[in-house]
Amino acid sequence: MVQPTTKTVTTPPYGVHAHEPDLGFWRKYVFSTDHKVIGIQYGLTALCFLLLGFFLILTMRWQIAHPGEPVPVVGWFLEKVLGSPASNGVMSPDLYNMFGAMHGTIMVFLAIVPLAVGAFGNYLVPLMIGANDMAFPRLNMMSYQLYFLGGVVMLASFLIPGGAAQAGWTSYSPLATIIPTDGQTFWLIGMVLLITSSLLGSVNIITTIVQLRAPGLTWMRLPFFVWAQLAASFLLLLAFPPLEAAGILQLMDKVAGTSFFLPTGLAVGGVTANISGGGSPLLWQHLFWFLAHPEVYVLILPAMGIVAEVIANNIRKPLWGYRTMVYAVLTLSFLSFIVWAHHMYLTGMGTRISTFFQTTTIIISIPSVILLTCLLISLWGGSIRVHTPMLFALAFLPMFGIGGLTGLPLGFAASDIQLHDTYYVIGHFHYVVAPGTIFALFAGIYHWFPKLTGRRMNEFWGRVHFWCSLLFMNAVFLPMFAQGFAGMLRRMSDGGLSYSTRMGPGIEGTLSDTILGLNNFILWAALALGLAQIPFIINLFVSVWRGEPVKSDNPWEATTLEWQTPTPPPHGNFIEPPKVYRGPYEYGVTAGQADYVPQNAA
């Protein structure tokens, strides 16, 4: 006999647990140890940082398209807050470098990872495995607080004399060390805080998954999302510490005057630097990329997990190749530790090392393709329900596909020579992260919103948000491939003007007016992309209070455990501790009137 799933909405009080002590505002919303509140804290903070990171790049795109012209609308504000680097509202090259470095840092470490792992991981993992909270609730709270503190340090660095870090999000030494401002020191301290936060978070998520799975929830019954979070947490756990080591060493270089990354005979501004020398700039790059490559998979794996859940729910049939996907994720995570030096082909580290990393890099594309293929084949023969979350999840597949395939020419050392450090690279990884991961995160927000609030987000405005975002994302990033092929470098504050055909007529390899003209096209596309997020922001907040109320605890008719709770789940999550009897995707089975059987149905 199939246990009937709740066809009504369970709201407080919940019977036996009705006498939960009232914790008061501060303990309940600010210093909460409830994984759901912490997840929402992470989510809202990270969304703010996402918007800030976007704003930084929007002003940079103006400078690229119209070098030396005052930034419209916000120019006066920049001058007022940041002073001389933005005098008369014009973005100086220093400010451009600052915004460039902080755009990358904010987007990766303060927006996407906290959103994908901090918000979704925290909120959903305990619910999906049938636990009443994370294994270490207080560490969880501390993890968010450290993240918040790291964000504050990063933001504060804009306001110190000389401004924020200017050496790119990669912070290559010696450049990062010899810029004579304190921005880099702030950056390093901020990173140490963020790394500690992610360390606590990842220990917590792994322990929770290993220890607190509900009875009957064996490894191969875990939803794919949980596997993805587990793999991503292992990457955070093991890949971040070498960057912390590198950060400590660079901090020593900056503060204690050591020379870990400064070679003998280093000259700054034509004068030999007063340092002991004997260090190695390559060492920084090795330690940095040892983190930063697995970090890419931290960005993408939770996104894949979200997409897998949304797709499985909306095709109304099991995922094709669930086991294969699990093994692919594990292989991918392992391999991601031995591909880092493909970012360093042009550093002179030697062709033999390049060959090794070229081989591993091409091998790692196999599990990635397996994952994408499984999701694609899953669609075959499904009775697909199309609505906003599913649209985002479906768009993820080709968008991530473009991002992945354009990575192959960068993985081969020979073709990388032309493309390295050009806009092609920017286009490549933004296709992975922006219309890839961010679309998956949108899918997740639209999908789980009814569980958080008991209301749905508006479908019409969701679709407006989706179609506009899809169109303008591609308008922004597709032209960058053409610019990259033409050899346009990525870090120039004048958008390549000094290398244009106009400046040096008849010189081979200069940038044509068509290529430079794309800068203006990208600017307006980026602005339109920003405007396209307004319906989302309004929809998100208005729906919390005015959205259409759900008629059941399980409005999407999903099988996984997070839907078998009251709406929204109370502190402690489940009314009765759940028992699991089956795999995560039992869709399409005939069970009375329903076409699905929840995991906890006996």
Least Å from the CB of residue 396 to other proteins = 30
Least Å from the CB of residue 134 to other proteins = 8
Whole-angstrom CA distances from 219 to 215, 226, 321, 564 are: 11, 10, 15, 20
134/152 Cα distance (integer angstroms):
26
Least Å from the CB of residue 236 to other proteins = 9
Judged by CB under 8 A, the residue of 242, 321, 568, 588 near other proteins is 242
Site mask, other proteins, residues 244-273, x = CB under 8 A? Answer: xxx-xx--x---xxxxx---x---------
Tell whether residue 172 is a contact of other proteins (CB under 8 A): no
Print burial letters for 166-175: b (CB count within 10 Å at least 16), e (below 16).
bbbbbbebbb
Tell whether residue 202 is a contact of other proteins (CB under 8 A): yes
Tell whether residue 373 is a contact of other proteins (CB under 8 A): no
Contact 36, 51 (CB under 8 A): no
Nearer to other proteins, 58 or 127 (CB): 127
Least Å from the CB of residue 199 to other proteins = 6
Per CB under 8 A, the segment of 186-194, 233-241, 433-441, 590-598 that binds other proteins is 233-241
Tell whether residue 212 is a contact of other proteins (CB under 8 A): yes
Per CB under 8 A, the segment of 281-289, 487-495, 503-511, 546-554 that binds other proteins is 281-289
3-state class percentages of the chain: helix first, strand second, coil last, to nearest 5:
65, 5, 30
Tell whether residue 176 is a contact of other proteins (CB under 8 A): no
H-assigned helices in 106-136: 113, 122-128
Q: Which residues have C-beta within 8 Å of that of residue 13, sequence separation ≥ 6?
A: none
Tell whether residue 275 is a contact of other proteins (CB under 8 A): yes
* Residue located via tokens 């990063």: 154
Lookup: tokens for 364: 């790692």
Three-state SS at 58: helix
CA 94 from centroid of its chain's CA atoms:
27
H-assigned helices in 22-92: 24-25, 35-65, 75-82
Least Å from the CB of residue 210 to other proteins = 6
Residues 121-160 contacting other proteins, CB under 8 A: 131-133, 135-137, 139
Tell whether residue 199 is a contact of other proteins (CB under 8 A): yes
Residues 535-554 contacting other proteins, CB under 8 A: none
Nearer to other proteins, 159 or 248 (CB): 248
Tell whether residue 449 is a contact of other proteins (CB under 8 A): no
Tell whether residue 38 is a contact of other proteins (CB under 8 A): no
498/67 Cα distance (integer angstroms):
10
Nearer to other proteins, 477 or 574 (CB): 574
- The gap between the terminal CA atoms of the chain, to the nearest Å, is 7
Judged by CB under 8 A, the residue of 239, 308, 315, 413 near other proteins is 239
149: exposed, middle or buried (Cβ count in 10 Å: 0-12, 13-18, 19+): middle
Tell whether residue 474 is a contact of other proteins (CB under 8 A): no
The alpha carbon dihedral of 437, 439, 443, 448 has a sign of positive
Q: Residue count at the site for other proteins (CB under 8 A)? A: 48
Judged by CB under 8 A, the residue of 280, 331, 359, 474 near other proteins is 280
Nearer to other proteins, 84 or 211 (CB): 211
Nearer to other proteins, 254 or 456 (CB): 254
> What is 513-536 written as a DSSP string?
HHHHHHHHHHHHHHHHHHHHHHHH
Conformation bin of residue 284: beta by default, left when phi > 0, alpha when psi is -120 to 50: alpha
Tell whether residue 117 is a contact of other proteins (CB under 8 A): no
Judged by CB under 8 A, the residue of 9, 149, 155, 203 near other proteins is 203
Angle at 302 between CA 389 and CA 564, to 5 degrees: 60
Tell whether residue 283 is a contact of other proteins (CB under 8 A): yes
Nearer to other proteins, 349 or 397 (CB): 349
Q: How many CB atoms are closer than 10 A to CB 62?
A: 24
Nearer to other proteins, 252 or 452 (CB): 252
Whole-angstrom CA distances from 182 to 81, 238, 250, 299 are: 18, 29, 13, 29
Tell whether residue 211 is a contact of other proteins (CB under 8 A): yes
Residue type, 526: A
- Please report, as ranges, the residues that interact with other proteins according to CB under 8 A: 131-133, 135-137, 139, 199, 202-204, 206-207, 210-212, 237-246, 248-249, 252, 256-260, 264, 275-280, 282-283, 286-287, 290, 571-572
